[in-house]
Amino acid sequence: MDVLNYEAQEDERRDSPPPNADVDEVCNYLDALSFARGQLADPSGLPLSMRLLNDAHRLLLGGVRGANKEPGPVRRSQNWIGGSRPANAAYVPPPPNALPEVVAAFERYIHADDELPP
């Protein structure tokens, strides 16, 4: 409801910050989604690509928690979900040095004409 109220006050919103960090984060999500959808819908916009994802990520984290984590570029260190280290984590994504190859394969897949997965 806070976001709805904040967005409803469009004229006043330009001159005042969001009422709390949660609203600020949700507004960033909306801005990033709007940006990405606009790029994809525009014939001269960016295609679904790493550049588009980096730009949307930069908008997503701008001025909110995580802003100090280099929003935009692909991570440079290993991360994981759950557990206290990769060995006992619930999920460990590919290491940073493998990301260019993994992302390139993903881009080829989403832009391919094939209907079957590789």
Average pLDDT, the chain: 85
Cα separation, 48 vs 31, whole angstroms: 17
Q: What's the domain count of the chain?
A: 2
Asked if pLDDT for residue 82 goes beyond 60, the answer is yes
Asked if pLDDT for residue 81 goes beyond 80, the answer is yes
Both 3 and 53 in one domain: the answer is: yes
Residue position matching structure tokens 């991570």: 75
Asked if pLDDT for residue 42 goes beyond 90, the answer is yes
pLDDT at position 109, please?
Answer: 87
pLDDT at position 117, please?
Answer: 66
Both 68 and 107 in one domain: the answer is: no
Find out whether 58 and 23 touch, Cβ atoms under 8 Å.
no
pLDDT at position 15, please?
Answer: 60
pTM to 2 decimals?
A: 0.68
Domain that residue 107 falls in: 76-118
pLDDT at position 2, please?
Answer: 66
| Span between the terminal Cα atoms of the chain, in Å | 43
Find out whether 56 and 32 touch, Cβ atoms under 8 Å.
yes
